[in-house]
Structures are given as structure tokens and as C-alpha cells.
Amino acid sequence: MTVVMMESMTTLTNFLLQPLQYEFMERGMIAAVLVGIICAVVGTFVILRGMAFFGDALAHTILPGIALGYLVSGGARDQLFWWALGTAIVASLGIGAISKNSQIKEDTSIGIIFAGMFALGIALISTVRSYAVDLSHFLFGDVLSVSTHSLWLILLFGGIVLLVIFAFYKEFTTISFDPVLAATLRLPVDLLNNLLLVLIAVTVAVSLQTVGVALMVAMLVTPAATAYLLTHRLSKMMLLAAVFASLSGVIGLYLSYYLSIASGAAIVLTATFFFVVAFGWRRVRQK
């Protein structure tokens, strides 16, 4: 190899390795990749069932729960996961019940509740003096502050989510494609629907620190939608979505490090970039 090539190799290696000398960057990378994979797989069902708005609403609805946990625990971050998880599960089943028995249109009632709960969350957090900084962490994520403890929680609960999806893969596929068929096959449709809502709730709780409440829907929807443009098979779609999501996590964090931009925003922007490229590629190929 020439000296120039050697040098540029070393530069590239340095470029990639330098951020990782910080342990918080390393933990952030692992968190971003794990969260990316979980969101992508669950997100596949979210977009196929047209539940993007539900996912967005759910993420916002858990803010008062997080706020309450924040006030009760006096700002301890590690406990917030449990508050987020509890609120998310209650909220997901609650929203699910509302959308089934609603007098007014489903998206209207979801919209009212999600904005109301979100406002309640902001009101609660605003009682604390350092509220602007904390609020922005909940809203947009703070992946670089992920502790080793949080990482284990993400791995554990994310693992459970993926396992349940794997175990009920054919059932979830059937109820998503043709609910009437699922009913005539006597699958427990209501139970499976609620199970899926709970899975989305756990995913939201697990992803909270990485992308935050406001950007959550992007992690659920964008990588899955990118994969949807590129393949016609569900299993491949999940795999591709997971690849795009983890790549977005890694690339996003490098961008965040070198350009000094907010980590959550950098991850989501990278995922959006992949989507735009896939969209363009499909348009060109179809002509």
C-alpha cells in the first residue's frame, strides 16, 4: 500500500474510533442499535396496520407518567423507565379501548387525549426549576446519558418484545392482513390485538431515552417504511428495517459527535435520509 492510502486508512480508523474512547458514546451506540432493531420490528406491524398516529399519540401520552416519576424520585433517571413502562401499558390499552367504543371519530378522540395528557406532562415538569433542560431530554432523548443499568433494561425488555413477535409471528400477520379470516379461524383476535398494543407500549418505554417522546414515531415508522419500499416479503421487511434503523443509530451518533447536533435528531434525520433515498430509487426504477 502506498503511504497516502495508509495515511487515509489511519485517518478513517481514527475518525471512527475516536468517539468510542468515551464510554458514554459506546453505551449510546449500543443503545441506539438495540432500540433501532426493536422499533423496526415492531414498527413493521405499526405501518402495515396504519397505526402511526397511535404510536405518536402513545409516546406523547406517557409524558405525565414520566413527569410524575421524575417528581417523586427527585430526578433519578434510572427509575424513569418503570414509570414510562407502566404509563405506556395503561395508555396503550386505554387508547385501544377508546378507539373501539368511541362515539366520535377514532383519530379525534385519540388526538384530544394525547394533547391533553401531553399538556399535563409539561405542566407537571414545569413545576421544577431546571425544567427546560429536563423537558427537552424527555422530548428529544438523551442517548449519551444512558447508564449501564438502562442498557440492561433495554436488552431485557427489547428481547422479550422480539421473542413474543417471533412466537406469534403467524398470528400477528394473519390478524393484520385479514381480521375476518383470523376470526373464522377462531384466533383470539382481541387478545392478540391487545398484546400488540402492549408490545408497542414496551417499545416506546424502551426507546424513551434514545429518541425521546416527540421523535419516537420516527423510529417506529421511518425504517419500516423504508424497508416496505424495497421488499415484498414481511420477514425481509423486518430484517431490512432493523438494518436501516441500527445504521441510522450509528451514523446518527457520529454525526451528533462531529457536528455537535442533538443525538436524537441526528438519528432520526439519518433514518429520514435513508427513506428519501429508497423512495427516489423506487421512483427511478418504476420509470
Contact status, residue 260 vs residue 271, Cβ threshold 8 Å: no
Candidates 231, 243, 255, 273: give the one binding other proteins (CB under 8 A).
Answer: 231
- Does position 190 interact with other proteins (CB under 8 A)? The reply is no
In this complex, which beta carbon is closest to other proteins, that of residue 100 or of residue 236? Answer: 236
Candidates 16, 112, 156, 185: give the one binding other proteins (CB under 8 A).
Answer: 185
- Does position 163 interact with other proteins (CB under 8 A)? The reply is no
- Does position 287 interact with other proteins (CB under 8 A)? The reply is no
Output DSSP code: residue 103: S
Distance, in Å, from the CA atom of 16 to the CA atom of 179, rounded to the nearest integer, reads 47
- Best CA proximity match to 44, nearest among 178, 207, 224: 224
Candidates 129, 186, 285, 287: give the one binding other proteins (CB under 8 A).
Answer: 186
Residues 6 or more apart in contact with residue 203 via CB below 8 angstroms: 38, 39, 42, 158, 161, 220
- Does position 191 interact with other proteins (CB under 8 A)? The reply is no
- Does position 159 interact with other proteins (CB under 8 A)? The reply is no
Nearest distance, CB of residue 102 and other proteins, angstroms: 14
Candidates 16, 71, 132, 183: give the one binding other proteins (CB under 8 A).
Answer: 183
In this complex, which beta carbon is closest to other proteins, that of residue 71 or of residue 163? Answer: 163
- Does position 285 interact with other proteins (CB under 8 A)? The reply is no
Distance, in Å, from the CA atom of 252 to the CA atom of 207, rounded to the nearest integer, reads 15
Candidates 99, 174, 194, 272: give the one binding other proteins (CB under 8 A).
Answer: 174
In this complex, which beta carbon is closest to other proteins, that of residue 151 or of residue 189? Answer: 189
Contact status, residue 84 vs residue 65, Cβ threshold 8 Å: yes
- Does position 216 interact with other proteins (CB under 8 A)? The reply is no
CA 262 to chain centre: 16
Q: What are phi and psi of 197, to 5 degrees?
A: -60, -40
In this complex, which beta carbon is closest to other proteins, that of residue 182 or of residue 218? Answer: 182
Q: What DSSP assignment string belongs to 144-198?
A: GG--HHHHHHHHHHHHHHHHHHHHTHHHHHHHHH-HHHHHHTT--HHHHHHHHHH
- Does position 239 interact with other proteins (CB under 8 A)? The reply is no
Note the residues at the interface with other proteins (CB under 8 A).
Answer: 48, 167-168, 170-171, 173-174, 176-178, 180-188, 228, 231-234, 236-237
